[in-house]
């Protein structure tokens, strides 16, 4: 499997060959199409690799080289799983500057199907006028679409959602759409998703199931290790804490570098946040700071509660959490920092939490 086998891209119902890429890129005004053309220049170039920034799933974010051959293997797995063929239509609403957007282009090149572009903004389906067989979105885009144009979600046959965790409210709303929705697990190092979890329908599940040809295990830290021979020459050792069942499926508990150790207990922020998500209709995050007894869990909320509201919230939170999970204080923060992927920037919060506290109200 090589890039030489791929000559044209069917983009917005028109074929683009290698020659037209060079002619069109300078005059193209649509920013999304321009990003596609810029990626095609790299794809059809002489290098066998592309350079992509990692998201930090396996350590500090860094640029890595990704084999084009391995990208084709990844695209083949997705196209096969979702039955994408030459008469299929897929939607591109993620930037080709990131691996998720690049892989949508590669899937279309490999499968020979039509790739249509739309806005890369939070509500990418607002102006969508035709049905598509396949699309990929981040949770923020899904949430915005469900809140503003829920009827447009039914324009999509199969939807994969990835890049960050999915909140309970959004997952509940997906139970009312006809779209077949899947939560993905993957990272730049695996090129794309290596496992899927069905979100709605009779076969919905709380477990991620690895794709064919993917083997997983757990290391001594209880973190996921991925063996994907067609995607990487080495084992991919992640910082994602997981639990596995006997059939090889897994659930994400959180990240090893986010664990809060308080009074001898290990607190997983993602688990705690999921337990209380239905109680807080505003962005929030559980972080830690050093106290007299070691690390202390602190609840940051991007909204200021009045005293009575806060008292009621504390009562509700106390009923949902174990005593050792309870935050030692609740602080109101003006803005929770986010990564480009849509995930909470927990590392930035750890570094800047002292200054954030100075600019926020605190309730203990």
Q: What is the mean pLDDT of residues 37-47?
A: 90
Q: How far apart are CA 36 and CA 97, in angstroms?
A: 9
Q: What's the confidence (pLDDT) of residue 341?
A: 62
Q: Are 180 and 284 within one domain?
A: no
Q: What's the confidence (pLDDT) of residue 256?
A: 87
Q: Are 92 and 202 within one domain?
A: yes
Q: How far apart are CA 273 and CA 307, in angstroms?
A: 22
Q: Are 332 and 190 within one domain?
A: no
Within its chain, how far is the Cα of 299 from the centroid?
23
Q: What's the confidence (pLDDT) of residue 124?
A: 93
Q: What is the mean pLDDT of residues 122-128?
A: 91
Q: Are 265 and 237 within one domain?
A: no
Q: Are 185 and 275 within one domain?
A: no
Exposed e or buried b per residue across 326-362, where buried means at least 16 C-beta atoms within 10 angstroms of its C-beta:
bbeebbbbeebeebebbbbbbeebeeebeebbeebee
Of 233, 256, 279, which residue constitutes the final position of a domain? 256
Q: What is the mean pLDDT of residues 285-290?
A: 87
135 pLDDT more than 60? yes
Q: How far apart are CA 55 and CA 140, in angstroms?
A: 17
342 pLDDT more than 70? no
For the segment 185-229, what is each residue's pLDDT rounded down to a tens digit?
999 899 999 999 999 999 999 999 999 999 999 999 999 999 999
Q: Are 156 and 291 within one domain?
A: no
Residue 18 vs residue 65, higher pLDDT? 65
Answer whether 92's CB lies under 8 Å from 272's CB. Answer: no
Q: Which residues, listed in sequence order, are joined to residue 301 by a DSSP beta bridge?
A: 284, 332
Q: Which residues, listed in sequence order, are joined to residue 218 by a DSSP beta bridge?
A: 224
pTM reported for the whole predicted model: 0.83
- The residue among 123, 192, 65, 139 whose CA lies nearest residue 339 is 139
For the segment 59-99, what is each residue's pLDDT rounded down to a tens digit?
567 888 999 999 999 999 999 999 999 999 999 999 999 99
- The residue among 33, 58, 10 whose CA lies nearest residue 255 is 58
Residue 353 lies in domain: 259-363
Q: What is the mean pLDDT of residues 23-30?
A: 74
Which whole-number Å values give the CA distances from 187 to 54, 198, 283, 321, in the listed order?
8, 18, 24, 31
Q: How far apart are CA 57 and CA 59, in angstroms?
A: 6
Exposed e or buried b per residue across 49-76, where buried means at least 16 C-beta atoms within 10 angstroms of its C-beta:
ebebebbbbbeeeeeeebbbebbbbbbb
Q: What's the confidence (pLDDT) of residue 1?
A: 54
Q: Are 200 and 343 within one domain?
A: no
Of 256, 284, 312, which residue constitutes the final position of a domain? 256
Q: Are 136 and 174 within one domain?
A: yes
By three-state DSSP, how is residue 213 classified?
Answer: coil
By three-state DSSP, how is residue 330 classified?
Answer: strand
Q: Are 84 and 182 within one domain?
A: yes
Q: Are 238 and 122 within one domain?
A: yes
The least confident of 139-143, 151-155, 289-293 is 289-293
The least confident of 47-61, 258-272, 302-316 is 47-61
Per the prediction, the chain carries an average pLDDT of 88
Q: What's the confidence (pLDDT) of residue 237?
A: 93
Reading the block at residue 175, the tokens are: 């139970």
Burial degree of 198 (CB within 10 A; 0-12, 13-18, 19+): middle
Which whole-number Å values give the CA distances from 132 to 87, 92, 114, 159, 348, in the listed order?
11, 10, 9, 10, 38
Of 256, 272, 300, which residue constitutes the final position of a domain? 256
C-beta pairs of 269-275 under 8 Å, 24+ apart in sequence = 269/297, 269/346, 270/165, 272/297, 272/321, 272/325, 274/168, 275/320, 275/321, 275/325
For the segment 314-338, what is each residue's pLDDT rounded down to a tens digit?
999 999 999 999 999 999 999 998 7
Q: What spatial distance separates the first Cα and last Cα of the chain, rounded to whole Å? A: 60
Domain count within the chain: 2
Q: What's the confidence (pLDDT) of residue 354?
A: 46
Assign 120 a pLDDT band (cuts: 50, 70, 90): confident
Which CATH number do you get for residue 17?
3.40.50.12780
Reading the block at residue 186, the tokens are: 């993957």
Q: Are 131 and 157 within one domain?
A: yes
15 pLDDT more than 80? yes
359 pLDDT more than 50? no
Q: What is the mean pLDDT of residues 275-300?
A: 86
Q: Are 128 and 146 within one domain?
A: yes
Reading the block at residue 60, the tokens are: 């500090």
């Amino acid at each position: 499997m090589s890039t030489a086998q791929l000559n044209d891209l069917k983009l917005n119902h028109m074929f683009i060959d290698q020659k037209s890429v060079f002619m069109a890129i300078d005059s193209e005004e649509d920013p999304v199409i321009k990003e596609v053309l810029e990626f095609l220049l790299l794809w059809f170039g002489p290098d066998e690799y592309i350079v992509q920034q990692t998201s930090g799933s396996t350590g500090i974010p860094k640029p890595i080289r990704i084999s084009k051959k391995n990208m084709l293997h990844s695209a083949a797995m997705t196209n096969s799983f979702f039955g994408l063929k030459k008469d299929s239509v897929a939607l591109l609403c993620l930037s080709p500057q990131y691996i998720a957007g690049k892989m949508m282009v590669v899937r279309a090149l490999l499968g020979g199907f039509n790739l249509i572009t739309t806005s890369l903004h939070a509500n990418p389906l607002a102006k969508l006028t035709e049905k598509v067989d396949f699309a990929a979105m981040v949770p923020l885009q899904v949430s915005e679409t469900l809140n503003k144009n829920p009827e447009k979600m039914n324009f999509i046959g199969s939807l994969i959602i990835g890049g960050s965790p999915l909140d309970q409210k959004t997952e509940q709303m997906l139970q009312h759409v006809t779209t077949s929705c899947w939560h993905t697990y993957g990272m730049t190092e695996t090129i794309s998703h290596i496992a899927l979890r069905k979100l709605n329908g009779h076969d919905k599940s709380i477990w991620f199931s690895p794709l064919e040809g993917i083997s997983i295990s757990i290391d001594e830290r209880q973190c996921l290790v991925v063996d994907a021979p067609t995607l990487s020459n080495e084992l991919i050792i992640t910082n994602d804490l997981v639990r596995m069942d006997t059939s090889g499926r897994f659930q994400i508990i959180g990240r090893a570098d986010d664990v809060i150790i308080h009074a001898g207990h290990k607190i997983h922020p993602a688990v705690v946040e999921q337990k209380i998500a239905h109680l807080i209709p505003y962005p929030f995050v559980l972080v830690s700071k050093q106290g007299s007894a070691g690390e202390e869990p602190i609840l940051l909320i991007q909204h200021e509660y009045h005293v009575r509201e806060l008292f009621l919230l504390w009562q509700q939170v106390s009923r949902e959490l174990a005593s050792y999970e309870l935050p030692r204080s609740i602080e109101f923060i003006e803005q929770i920092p986010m990564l480009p992927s849509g995930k909470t920037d927990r590392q930035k919060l750890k570094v800047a939490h002292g200054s954030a506290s100075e600019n926020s109200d605190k309730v203990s």
